[in-house]
Structure 1
């Protein structure tokens, strides 16, 4: 089955995420010209301080020590690597969607001497070619470039801008639409593209792999044009197992969850429309919101990946899951961050590139029960305007009670979050630290304490934030069980790093 589907995909053209080989017509989706986006953003910069996080950069950031307040925990030594879109403009063109920007790795080193930061753009094929030309050459996820051309392959447009994973001795920058990109975690030098098998060269390898207790990495890739979902299992030593299956009404899928026995995908009703893509719309605008389809849950047993089980949930949208586990009675318990609709990715992240903010859809932490025996699904909601859920990584696929997330607790006229929260999923109790109204909070990651007892949430929570008042990037270290007491240590530097997405911590 896998071989047949894969060869069929090759015969249809690109195996990528449909960002490539589409017959784009100039501005067929009705979006404003990219040059107009730059002008609109520049007009907003003086009146909207939050635009600092979306200005972007044109050059690497040289190594620089951070000013440290407080003391780093003794057993917290290593490197935090974060990824995100950082080059939003080139020449007179500013990207129209936040997801388009070229990726930059932010490196924060924790040592006996304190904290040090540097940032370096990933030298992808696209980044090198366009910066040599001094202009945008290709259409992208959400932007059509005047005079631009379709990408010859998904990896020709690979921006490597979403996440980072370190596994089997390799460090990879991840994107949604193409291959993983190798880079050196110490020097930040870009390597080549990671090819898992000859058959899967150029196939999407998504941005949220899961690493279980046995060291195996699970991931997926979506080939929207052909309705294919590829599954990857990579052992702790790098051996690869793959599978590919056909999925009807392919949705925009950013994340998934694993248990000890299953993989779980929640498919929101943001559906890829091949006709819209072939008519010249961007990849983003080739998706149609169809709430009547509801949210579909796809469950795959790890030993029977070709036997999908489907269940139904109320309509909604998601980017990220927290964790999933099964109770021994055939029920999978899963949590994710739910929004009412897909307006954030359809309109909201476009508005940010113009320096505009018109509000966000309501969010909630959704708790789901998927009964694999009866085929029924149930969902309950807890109101939290949050994103970037993370857990203690030792509990991936196992029962967990604690969920860490960035949250907004105050009404604000700007996008983003103002605090970090630890939520007890069973009781609903929260432990929360609020940075303040003038600070934009990014994802925080959990690092287990080396000398601890192994109990859940025993360790450190580490993450970045942008202080708009001082125009400085902050890096904070918390005792993960005592967030409300504030940072144990906090580094700052007199430069503002563009707001990014996801990262990982590599212990020394």
Structure 2
């Protein structure tokens, strides 16, 4: 069978990451009661625990406004910092049960001319527009089941576009995991519509609605690599030009049916897929609720040739769970090195459910940065770096090549969210850390650097200040993280805690 026909057949396969029509139709009237109860429970908890304010969500777009500057804004830092995350968690009297379910909201921080301006808009997906007009939820989510949910014929019927945002050829792609990217105007933040990855290729129709992950990898020349995980265990592989045009597509059958594959890696010659130690318990209702950690299940690594999309080698690692990777690279001997924010179990998924239900006292086994080496002879070595670790970033021009610096969030005082940012020297493991303190909930910080060196530049990221109920954009020097922010730009209010983002320099914004 030709590859194109085989991929086309996946449209009929069980690719829905969240829910299927059959599950929705099986829901009973009592399921809506759990969403109503959840809103009451969260609001009551918020009165006692102000640190939950970042998970409340918002109901409206946020109009453009100039922020209050504290410190000195660097004159050589100009451009747009975009970030995405679930912005709306409830409608009427119903509140979603899991953090991943909320409708996506894209934020834009415009930096330049000694000013920082902010605006934010919901991604107006088909789901969002229908529910906005109705004034209530119409579709079941991965864990939140509605008694009278509308049918879900494809993943894009419930696409929330809520996980990441990627600048592509002058526009933005709001990324989910289970379905298509959504195009957004980079200046107005107006939603354009779903991206058809196969447009103007023989795959134009067959790729519509297929999973497209929220963690593409971008090489120095702008080439975009991505994957899409289907519940059948198949993984679609994409190679896309810097202009957003499909160059190559393929698929492998990993046999992995654990329910979640969030991130991946590339080297100069290979794609790397790591299957965490997860399994689905189909007797438990709800997608995320049914994902269980299996302490006897090894993590399996697939090494895939970039040219042929064929699996060339497989490795087994000790059981664990990974959301995010920083980078991978291949040495002259053919050994592969990569880092992972590795969890010892899958408690973090349940942690996100408990937070949405108003509990801030949830036991959690945090992730550590772990450095892996996959030797060509089949052996494996791992090295654990001290400290809690998540949301790893590197200097972007080194994606797929050897990097010596890794930037991550960490947690020193907070059990709810990250409260620190740090730089790790991967050779010496020396760390340079700045701790915001227990009064802050710190979000992903991205690296901004245009000199193509593994030094200099800035770290940019948002943090929520709990006592004042305000969010600030923070700018730190990447070479001196422990000195803390050299500039803060304050919003007069809280914005919902999100997930991922990227920076578009002014030079790109004008003619990328």
TM-score between both structures, scaled by the size of structure 2: 0.93
Aligned to 1:474: 472
Structure 1 position 32, deviation (Å): 7.4
Aligned to 1:299: 303
Cα–Cα, structure 1 residues 18 and 355, in superposed 2: closer, same or farther, change >3 Å?
closer
In the alignment, structure 1 residue 485 sits paired with structure 2 residue 498 = no
Aligned to 1:350: 353
- 3-state SS of the aligned residue for 2:504? strand
Point out the more displaced range, 454-463 or 75-84.
454-463
Aligned to 1:463: 461
1:259 to 261, 264, 267: 267
2:499 to 490, 498, 501: 501
Cα–Cα, structure 1 residues 150 and 29, in superposed 2: closer, same or farther, change >3 Å?
farther
Aligned to 2:19: 19
Aligned to 2:403: 400
In the comparison of the two structures, how many residue pairs are matched?
495
Cα–Cα, structure 1 residues 118 and 169, in superposed 2: closer, same or farther, change >3 Å?
closer
Q: Where do residues 122-201 of structure 1 align in structure 2 (5 Å cutoff)?
A: 122-197=123-198, 198=204, 199-201=206-208
> 1:29–1:285: 8 Å Cα contact kept in structure 2?
no
C-alpha distance in 2, partners of 1:82/1:213? 21
- 3-state SS of the aligned residue for 1:416? coil
- 3-state SS of the aligned residue for 1:341? coil
C-alpha distance in 1, partners of 2:89/2:12? 34
Aligned to 1:9: 10
Cα–Cα, structure 1 residues 31 and 431, in superposed 2: closer, same or farther, change >3 Å?
farther
Structure 1 position 308, deviation (Å): 4.5
Aligned to 2:61: 60
In the alignment, structure 1 residue 234 sits paired with structure 2 residue 240 = yes
Aligned to 2:278: 270
C-alpha distance in 2, partners of 1:337/1:120? 30
> 2:75–2:112: 8 Å Cα contact kept in structure 1?
no
Cα–Cα, structure 1 residues 331 and 30, in superposed 2: closer, same or farther, change >3 Å?
farther
C-alpha distance in 2, partners of 1:212/1:312? 27
Aligned to 2:218: 211
> 1:363–1:383: 8 Å Cα contact kept in structure 2?
no
In the alignment, structure 1 residue 103 sits paired with structure 2 residue 107 = no
C-alpha distance in 2, partners of 1:27/1:349? 24
- 3-state SS of the aligned residue for 1:45? helix
Cα–Cα, structure 1 residues 237 and 106, in superposed 2: closer, same or farther, change >3 Å?
closer
Structure 1 position 281, deviation (Å): 2.9
> 1:231–1:242: 8 Å Cα contact kept in structure 2?
yes
Unaligned runs of 5+ in 1: none
Runs of at least 4 residues off by over 4 Å: 27-32
C-alpha distance in 2, partners of 1:272/1:205? 21
Cα–Cα, structure 1 residues 342 and 325, in superposed 2: closer, same or farther, change >3 Å?
same
C-alpha distance in 1, partners of 2:28/2:344? 29
C-alpha distance in 1, partners of 2:87/2:481? 29
- 3-state SS of the aligned residue for 2:23? coil
> 1:387–1:405: 8 Å Cα contact kept in structure 2?
yes
C-alpha distance in 2, partners of 1:434/1:27? 47
> 1:2–1:245: 8 Å Cα contact kept in structure 2?
no
> 2:299–2:320: 8 Å Cα contact kept in structure 1?
yes
Point out the more displaced range, 480-489 or 459-468.
480-489
1:249 to 256, 281, 284: 256
C-alpha distance in 1, partners of 2:74/2:465? 24
CA root-mean-square deviation: 1.9
> 1:249–1:272: 8 Å Cα contact kept in structure 2?
no
